[in-house]
Amino acid sequence: MRHLLSALFALAAPPLFAADTPKFKTQEIDTGLKIGYAVITADIDGDKKLDIAVVDQHKIVWYQNPGKPDAQWKKHVILDGKTRPDNVCIAAIDIDGDGLPELVVGAAWKPFDTANAAQLVWLKRGKSVTDEWTMHELPCDEPTVHRVRVFDIDGDGKPEIVHVPLMGRGSSAKGNWTDGKPARIIALKVPAKEPEKKGNWKTEVLSEELNVCHNFCLDNEVFSTEGRGPHFLAQILVTSYEGVHRLTRAKDTWTTTKIGAGNQANPKSNRGASEIKVGRVGAGIGTIATIEPWHGNQVVTYTPPARAGEKLWERHVIDEQLRWGHAVWFADLDGDKVDELIIGVRDDPNPKMGDTFKERRGVRVYKCTDGKGARWERTILDDGGVAVEDLTAADLDGDGKVDIIAVGRATGNCRIYWNQGK
């Protein structure tokens, strides 16, 4: 029955649809996830088609791209029950140089355990890509490892692994998670030989100034003007209780600079910013999008300061009709060289908490209407069908149109929204 359901399609019927936004067709490829903590796309089997990998509570799984939208995505188990529970984050990187991705996974996810180190591992495929993969430990001394990504931070053309814990060691609920050490943002450089040996991995601390760091992303493609080389300027954006910060590398030194205020309306509770991505909304114009405050109810964009000399970017609340936004992405969905903003909402409205809006959990798309990033028009793509824990966007069928993939926590599902064009 589940295989039958996974092959069925339903046209999305949003209650509000911007005129210039493409139409999407929904395909459910899995309804049996426990907690779909994270989703990525990568060519797992080397057939030049993007597959989908999902971090579930105790498993890592991938869905094999069948090459066309109306076919079944076959599910394979990469790892089952070998990590310390829960698995929480994932990134793809070619560690052994064979041209195929290995996977880095953050595990031992216990969000309020700030005393014990979490777990960071990398997974290597077996003789067959459908066999269970082998697990190799990575150095990890930080508690609450929460997000992991890979990108080149030193200009040598090879990606490093960067991971960010949610909370710093020794922080507590009594101190609103700011009474311990700040979160340590760590990079790991892939060793030239024998990556299977944990001791061959070298670590670097990029920042240890921020508290409750929910997510981060690379901002180099949008904002950096320096080329790669010995003095390559790498830039990373991080959200925290303190707001939005940019981590900048010049030569061998990292600095942490505040560029966005975040939502500071409730200083003794959840505050600051949560999810984050960067995108382009016009020629040479970049914007930052966040969810605020931490695990919050606002979709926020940031635009560069209007006046020279100002340090903080301008903050714009573009949507407050949501409860617990939990995913942010930018992608050019309509092919006009301008990015649309994609938001995942995890929870339904709760009248007992004061919610008066009716819009449910699901996926929303926003189109910039002022060419600057301050004004946006909203489309509700999925109203209630997926309790979004994470989402991503990629062209899955090679038709030149970017599709959207979302995984649900309470709904336990994985959905593809196929871009049908305008």
Distance between CA 133 and CA 131 in Å, rounded? 6
Which token pair is 128? 């067959």
Decide: residue 176, CB within 10 A, 0-12 exposed, 13-18 middle, 19+ buried: middle
Cα angle 179-165-39, degrees, rounded to a multiple of 5: 145
| Helix, strand, coil tally for the chain in percent (to 5) | 5, 45, 50
pTM of the entire predicted model: 0.93
| Residue 263 DSSP class | B
pLDDT at 250: 83
pLDDT at 8: 36
* pLDDT, averaged in runs of 10, over the chain (422 residues): 36 47 95 98 97 98 93 96 97 96 97 96 92 96 98 92 98 97 98 97 98 93 50 85 95 93 97 97 87 97 88 96 97 95 98 96 97 96 98 97 98 98 90
pLDDT at 18: 55
- Please check whether residue 105 is in contact with residue 95, taking contact to mean a CB–CB distance below 8 angstroms: no
* CA proximity to 102, closest of 116, 114, 115, 92: 92
Long-range contacts of range 63-68, CB-CB < 8 Å, 24 or more positions apart?
63/29, 63/30, 63/414, 65/396, 67/397, 68/397
Decide: residue 366, CB within 10 A, 0-12 exposed, 13-18 middle, 19+ buried: buried
